[in-house]
Amino acid sequence: MDSNDVSADLAHVLYTKDQIQDKIAEMAAAIDKDYEGRDILVVGVLKGAVMVMADLSRALHSHVTMDWMAVSSYGSGTTSSGVVRILKDLDTDLMGKHVLIVEDIIDSGLTLSWLKSNLESRGPASVEICTLLRKPEAAKVEIDVKYVGFDCPNEFVVGYGLDFAEKYRNLDFIGTLAPHVYN
Ligand SMILES: O=P(O)(O)OC[C@H]1O[C@H](OP(=O)(O)OP(=O)(O)O)[C@H](O)[C@@H]1O
Ligand SMILES: Nc1nc2[nH]cnc2c(=O)[nH]1
């Protein structure tokens, strides 16, 4: 193995590439059915949602437009600060649009709770959430989430868009990190 091989940093694989792709296809089918006859504005939350956005949007058959937001609620560590800042806003006027927020993970729920209210205040026809992962045990606020891929254990996870110190986003699976990475 290459001494810089990323797999040496992983403790467990939680969701394989195939499991993720099957789940994305399942969510896309449910979304197509629910939005039949309506265009969807999918809003990806940078940076973590890049992989889900890329795969989910390609799996959808509905007419889709795409936009991106960047918000910050985490510092350099692994716990949410609860303070959300907009780093990049949408380019799209939401008035009358069916908005589907796409996320990689809902942990405490603080980011999405804030973001959903923020987008709802802009006059859209509807705002729903699609997330690949949710940590039920970590929830600090209740949010209505229409599409959830996996309810995952309350551990810090990486891969498929999710980072630790900006690394591991490029993995095509999701896993937990070995203790030596944190030390
Ligand atoms: O439910 P919460 O506890 O609020 O956590 C969820 C948020 O944390 C992650 O983003 P992060 O702030 O790590 O930024 P990134 O997407 O750029 O990695 C994730 O993409 C969510 O936006
Ligand atoms: N990489 C990563 N980012 C997060 N943001 C909120 N929860 C998590 C997590 O478990 N992993």
pTM score, whole prediction: 0.94
> Which residues are within 8 A (CB) of 121 and not within 5 positions of it... i.e. 6 or more apart?
none
Angle at 40 between CA 18 and CA 86, to 5 degrees: 85
Phi and psi dihedrals of 54, rounded to 5? -65, -45
Looking at ligand 2, which residue's alpha carbon is closest to its atom 6? Answer: 107
Q: Which residues line the pocket of ligand 1, CB cutoff 6 A? A: 45-48, 72-74, 80, 103-112, 163
Ligand 2 atom 8, closest CA: 156
Cα–ligand 1 centroid distance for 105 (angstroms): 7
Distance 2 CA to ligand 1 centre (A): 30
Ligand 2, CB cutoff 6 Å, lining residues: 74, 105, 107, 156-158, 162-164
3-state secondary structure of 40: strand
**8 located within any domain:** no
What pLDDT score was predicted for residue 80? 62
Q: Classify residue 27 by burial, with Cβ atoms within 10 Å: 0-12, 13-18, 19+.
A: buried
Query: Distance between CA atoms of 158 and 115, rounded to whole angstroms?
Result: 22
Instruction: Tell me if ipTM is over 0.95.
Output: yes
Of the residues 81, 105, 106, 111, which should be mutated to test ligand 2's pocket, given the most ligand atoms within 8 Å of the CB?
105
Q: What is the pLDDT of residue 120?
A: 98
At 68, which CATH number?
3.40.50.2020
**Which sign, positive or negative, has the C-alpha torsion 173, 178, 179, 180?**
negative
Low-confidence stretches of the chain (pLDDT beneath 70): 1-3, 74-82
A 10 A CB-CB count for 82 gives: 14
On whether residue 16 sits in a domain, the answer given is no
**Percent composition of the chain: helix, strand, coil (DSSP 3-state, to 5):** 25, 35, 35
CA-closest residue to ligand 1 atom 5 = 107
In a domain? residue 7:
no
Among all residues, which ones are annotated catalytic?
A: 107
Question: Domain span at residue 28?
Answer: 23-157
Identify the pLDDT of residue 166. 96
**For residue 168, is it within any domain?**
no
- Quick one: pLDDT at residue 7? 86
- Beta bridge partners, 128, equal 100
Q: Is residue 56 part of a domain?
A: yes
Is 124 among the domain residues?
Answer: yes
In a domain, 35, yes or no: yes
Q: What is the pLDDT of residues 126-145, one digit of tens each?
A: 999 999 999 999 999 999 99
The pLDDT value recorded for residue 1 is 57
84: nearest Cα among 97, 96, 72, 92 = 72
Which pLDDT value is given to residue 83?
Answer: 77
User: What pLDDT, on the 0 to 100 scale, is given for residue 73?
Assistant: 77
Q: Is 15 within the bounds of a domain?
A: no
Q: What's the total number of domains in the chain?
A: 1
pLDDT of residue 24: 98
The overall average pLDDT reported for the chain is 94
